[in-house]
Amino acid sequence: MNTKSIICLLLCLGLGSSSAFAQGDDSRLIRALIDFTAEFGGDPVATVYFTNGEDQSVKAGQGLSLGLGGELTIPVVNKLKVRGWVSYKYQTTMADNADITLTSVPVNLTANWVMNNGIRFGAGLALHNAVKFGAGGLGDDIKFNNATGPLFEVGWKWIGLRYTLMEYVDGADIYDANAIGVSLSFAFPQ
């Protein structure tokens, strides 16, 4: 399945959830989803050196992301929920004189088993598109290949701990983009 197909599927989930709201459907099989994640880890893509002697690494797996998507409850197995969302992931440095960034557009699809007490276990696939490092005029910009990897999550209600296994590739260079993150995700209406 290519990126455009995945994005189309997620948009259809979102549109389906809005039509369910309009019909006043109490079953709430399809709900909208907002996800905010802070991730940490990965190999340094670049290191910025400051005039005060300090430095800061731009790591492949690190960044903040905000995403929109949908959550589908499987009717036959009410504890099984399929979540899909598209995010924008962003990382920058403390540099005042240059806009140094690492950005990507993650597309995530997970299956989640939700226990009676609200604890959920999830596994799925993460696809990072348009992965770009911007050197802010201080060096060469880098465009990475799209990357795919497994995603695992354990959470309670709206907060979760997420782990993504991934590598970013730029020609012959390979960067570990594995990341551990804390996610806040809200499916609505409740």
pLDDT, one tens digit per residue, over 41-57 is 999 999 999 989 999 99
- Residue 185's pLDDT band (cuts 50, 70, 90): very high
Gap between the Cα atoms of 13 and 37, Å rounded: 21
Q: What is the pTM of this model?
A: 0.84
Kindly report the CATH number that applies to the domain delimited by 3-188: 2.40.160
Residues 6+ positions from 16 with CB-CB distance below 8 Å: 30, 70
pLDDT digits 0-9 by tens, 78-132: 899 999 999 999 999 998 888 999 999 999 999 999 999 999 999 999 999 999 9
Do residues 168 and 160 make contact, with C-beta atoms less than 8 angstroms apart? no
Take residue 132 and report the two structure tokens written for it: 């770009």
pLDDT of residue 27: 59
pLDDT of residue 19: 46
